Amino acid sequence: MMEMGVSIRCHTMLLWAVIFCSLLCFTSSTNLEDPNLCSHWESYSVTVQESYAHPFDQVYYSSCSDILKWFKCTKHRVSYRVAYRRGQKTMYRRKSQCCQGFYENGEICAPHCTESCVHGRCTAPNTCQCEPGWGGNNCSSACDSTHWGPHCSNRCQCVNGALCNPISGACVCSRGFRGWRCELQCEPGSYGHGCQQKCQCQNAAQCHHMSGECRCSPGYMGAFCEEHCPAGKHGPQCEERCSCHNEAVCHHVTGECSCPPGWTGKLCSQSCPQGTFGPNCSHECQCHNNGLCSASSGRCLCGPGYTGDR
């Protein structure tokens, strides 16, 4: 009976060892500390051989007073012996696998995106983290001209038609502008892309900050404003007509008349007063004896009976 008890205990310990190993010996290549790793218990059946105490009827003889049985009576007692049988045992084991929305990728549980992230990476189930300059659910849409950065979430600050870098947000200025927002025109004397070109305008003409075209000062004309207005014209863009008389010269800027000798007045329409001659009638005649003085040259025209320069 003692041997039978020891054998039963040994088989029971072996069974529990199998169960314990099934609980602890489950391995996975995934890092068990991965926050995206989920675990659950699952059951399974195994066929085991188990021992049990099998009863049987044991017959033996003992002395008795029955003369008919020759003083030898038959007796019965129940005894037990170790027996074996096959049985099904339900086991439990812990199973670890990536949580829903994740898949096993080496030693980590990586998120899964149904749509592939074209210009970005999958950071959560069906969630793309776009690279700067790209947006949309799967990062396939380039930022428009007014937005930049990841998911095109930043608004451009550029002005005056400048282009916005979709990655950094830096402004690429149009011709004729400068500044971090392209809010400033080129400094006087420069124009074009990056304000790198030098103006060629003359005579205090203004240079267009974008094209470099010269805006002539009043009285000048030509591609670089290097020429005076033509005769008879003056003022801005040489569009005003001169009003001078008697072949007076008109100033190309102001239109002021420069009178020829012998003429005076704002429009040079008046002859010099008697006794004066020359430019602006600034000289006095030197003629004597009633000689007439030429208003232009001052030459004396002698009266009857007189001769000589004066």
pLDDT at position 29, please?
A: 58
* Residue 92, number of CB atoms within 10 A of its CB: 12
- The residue with tokens 């699952």 is 42
pLDDT at position 51, please?
A: 82
pLDDT at position 3, please?
A: 43
Q: Beta partners for 51?
A: 84
**Sequence-ordered list of residues with C-beta below 8 angstroms from that of 105, at least 6 positions apart, any chain:** none
Q: How far apart are CA 89 and CA 10, in angstroms?
A: 17
Establish how many alpha carbons lie within 13 A of residue 144's alpha carbon, considering only the half-sphere containing its beta carbon: 3
pTM of the model: 0.50
**What backbone torsions phi and psi does residue 4 show, to the nearest 5 degrees?**
-65, -40
pLDDT at position 197, please?
A: 95
Residue type, 207: C
pLDDT under 50: residue ranges of the chain: 1-28
pLDDT at position 172, please?
A: 93
pLDDT at position 112, please?
A: 92
